[in-house]
């Protein structure tokens, strides 16, 4: 294959609509924009405009608020940790930390901390360092002989 033989796949590109090229083209003169008015001009911005009536997005009341100080935890289930232990991605002897979970591919990034949840079963005795854990998860880890060490979440200054 040579560079001059490379072609796009059939139907991958379409030619742009050539407007304003005579009455015979079907898109001549006003180029499909009709006659006069706001919509015939360039720079039209009338999304949500209701002919002078108060738009629905301004009529309806707003509810709630977004807490900008909210912590965004990564949730990890015990079953997911056990799968990584079985696959040899996590070391059973070493403490399981957020960095170890990222390195093993269990989570993508730490965010504001890791929270352990109880879905699935944990068979191995492991020590888990996390920002938080559900009561059921703490009981399940304790039942397998391990422990959960709760640490200060990332991003707090206490």
Q: Is residue 130 part of a domain?
A: yes
Total residues belonging to the chain: 158
- CATH number for the domain that contains residue 134: 3.100.10.10
Within a domain: residue 104?
A: yes
- How many independent structural domains does the chain possess? 1
Residue 41 falls inside a structural domain: no
In a domain, 135, yes or no: yes
pLDDT score, position 38: 85
Domain containing residue 126: 74-150
Predicted TM-score (pTM) of this structure: 0.59
Question: Which pair of tokens denotes residue 37?
Answer: 């008015």
Within-domain flag for 50? no
Residue 3 domain flag: no
Per-residue pLDDT of the chain (158 residues; tens, 9 = 90+): 899 999 999 999 999 999 999 999 999 999 989 999 888 888 887 888 888 899 999 999 999 999 999 999 999 999 999 999 999 999 999 999 999 999 999 999 999 999 999 999 999 999 999 999 999 999 999 999 999 999 875 555 55
DSSP codes of every residue in 51-110: TTBPPHHHHSPP-----TT---PEEEEHHHHHHHHHTTSS-SSS-B-HHHHHHHTS-S--
- Residue 129 contacts residue 122 (beta carbons within 8 Å): no
Residue 103 lies in a domain: yes
Is there a domain that residue 140 lies in? yes
> What pLDDT, on a 0 to 100 scale, did the predictor assign at position 157?
55
Q: Identify the pLDDT of residue 91.
A: 92
């Amino acid at each position: 294959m040579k560079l001059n033989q490379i072609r796009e796949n059939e139907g991958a590109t379409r030619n742009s609509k050539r407007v304003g090229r005579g009455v015979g083209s079907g898109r001549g003169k006003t180029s499909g924009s009709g006659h006069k008015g706001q919509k015939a001009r360039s720079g039209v911005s009338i999304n949500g405009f209701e002919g002078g009536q108060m738009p629905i997005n301004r009529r309806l009341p707003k509810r709630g608020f977004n807490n900008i100080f909210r912590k965004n935890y990564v949730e990890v289930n015990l079953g997911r940790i056990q799968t990584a232990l079985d696959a040899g991605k996590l070391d059973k002897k070493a403490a399981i930390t957020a960095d170890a979970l990222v390195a093993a591919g269990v989570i993508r990034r730490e965010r504001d901390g890791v929270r352990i949840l109880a879905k699935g079963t944990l068979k191995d005795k492991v020590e888990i360092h996390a920002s938080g854990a559900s009561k059921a998860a703490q009981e399940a880890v304790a039942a397998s002989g391990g422990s959960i060490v709760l640490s200060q979440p990332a991003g707090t200054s206490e």
